[in-house]
Amino acid sequence: MIEQKKQSINLYRINEHNEAFFYWQKSRLEGIIDENSDIFHIDAHDDMARPRLFRNSLYPSPGTDPLDHYERFAREELTIANFIFPAVLGGVVGNVYFFYPEWRNFKPRRATIRIASAFGEGRIIKYPGPIASDARTKTVDKALPDMKAFTYTALPVGRMPRKKKVILDIDLDYFACRDSVQNNWHYRLDITPDQYRHADTFLKNATLPFSGLEFTFKLEGETPVAVISFRKVSENAHLPTHEEIIGAIDLLTRTLVERAVRPAVITVCRSRFSGYCPAEYIKFIEDALLKNLAAIYPLNLHDSPPGPERHS
């Protein structure tokens, strides 16, 4: 078993993955994790989408409360697919280890990646190619003063490195996943009676077939509404039995023990609103996972407040 320290480990249960950015920064500001901590990201997706532009700076302004800033930034600027790169640039994540489930049939991969922001302002995000040390100039340093280089490694869980102190980040969709989540997303808008009467004119717009959206106009009682949904795609899902899920959870926790992994903080994402972890699986997976984690680590559980999160 892992040697358990008297200091308990904060485990944050979150609804969507962009929230993790805030809790990692919170842990850094509290001195619980070091700057540029390695992360073990256990997920059905690597979440390595590259943001290009933020409306507000990644960096807190002088005199502002950094916790308030990071909470707002995670909620308003980040999505469930692009929160890791800002965590690297923001100084909380160092090297990234992405552990994918066996059912994904991914291939191991390793790369060195660079990220910076134009003039260090934290708004326009850049991804420079390799720059030889003797080629670094004052111009480059001025244009990209916050540039960071990190290693991205994608591996199956069985190849987890040994004896590392890390941010342990687990998405429940690692165990059960529905990738075709947009089939279940729809948005309801109240419209005017005049818009309802002219629905056919709207639906004849020649650009609509290229939007990837479907529109339905109907009456709910006497209220005209428009329902907007994504065009349906082929269902793509991994829906295992409870026994298979328990086996995957046991393998993960057994590997954490055997490799003597020491989490500084743990985030567990439900992928609740996005639907990447099917709703009927969430409670079963979460209960079983937390039971196993509590058996190997002294946990201090925290719940993220419920609320809508950005899905894309």
The tens place of each residue's pLDDT in the chain, 312 residues long, gives 334 445 899 999 999 999 999 999 999 999 999 999 999 999 999 999 999 999 999 999 999 999 999 999 999 999 999 999 999 999 999 999 999 999 999 999 999 999 999 999 999 999 998 765 555 566 778 899 999 999 999 999 999 999 999 999 999 999 999 987 676 777 889 989 899 888 898 888 888 888 888 888 999 988 999 888 878 777 789 999 999 999 999 999 999 999 999 999 999 999 999 999 999 999 999 999 999 999 999 999 999 765 444 333
How would DSSP label each residue in 16-55? Answer: STTHHHHHHHHHHHTTSS-TTEEEEEESSS-------B-S
CA atoms of 31 and 180, how far apart (whole Å): 39
In a domain, 312, yes or no: no
Residue 114 lies in a domain: yes
49 lies in a domain?
yes
Domain-terminating residue out of 230, 246, 268: 230
**Which residue has 């004119």 as its token pair?**
201
Residues 6+ apart with CB under 8 A from 152: 48, 95, 96, 98, 109, 110, 111, 112, 113
Query: What is 248-280 written as a DSSP string?
Result: HHHHHHHHHHHTT-EEEEEEEE--TTT-SS-HH
So what's the pLDDT on residue 306? 57
- Tell me if 136 sits within 8 A of 233, measured CB to CB: no
DSSP character for 124? B
In a domain, 89, yes or no: yes
132 and 171, same domain (yes or no): yes
171 and 104 housed in the same domain: yes
Q: Tell me the CA end-to-end span of the chain in Å, nearest whole number.
A: 39
Domain boundary (197, 230, 263) is at 230
What is d(CA 261, CA 105) in angstroms, rounded to the nearest whole number?
Answer: 24
Residues 189, 297, single domain; the answer is no
Is there a single domain that holds both residue 88 and residue 170?
A: yes
Judgement on whether residues 208 and 223 belong to the same structural domain of the protein: yes
**Residues 6 or more apart in contact with residue 283 via CB below 8 angstroms:** none
Predicted local confidence at residue 47, as pLDDT: 97
The reply to whether 29 and 77 lie within a common domain is: yes
pLDDT of residue 7: 82
Distances (CA, A) of 76 to 6, 69, 83: 37, 10, 12
At residue 68, the pLDDT reads 96
Per the structure, the complete domain to which residue 19 belongs is given by 9-179+236-303
Whether residue 309 lies inside any domain: the answer is no
Beta-carbon contacts of residue 250 (< 8 Å; ≥ 6 apart): 292
- Are 42 and 76 contained in the same domain? yes
Q: Residue 52: which CATH number?
A: 3.40.800
79 and 190 share one domain:
no
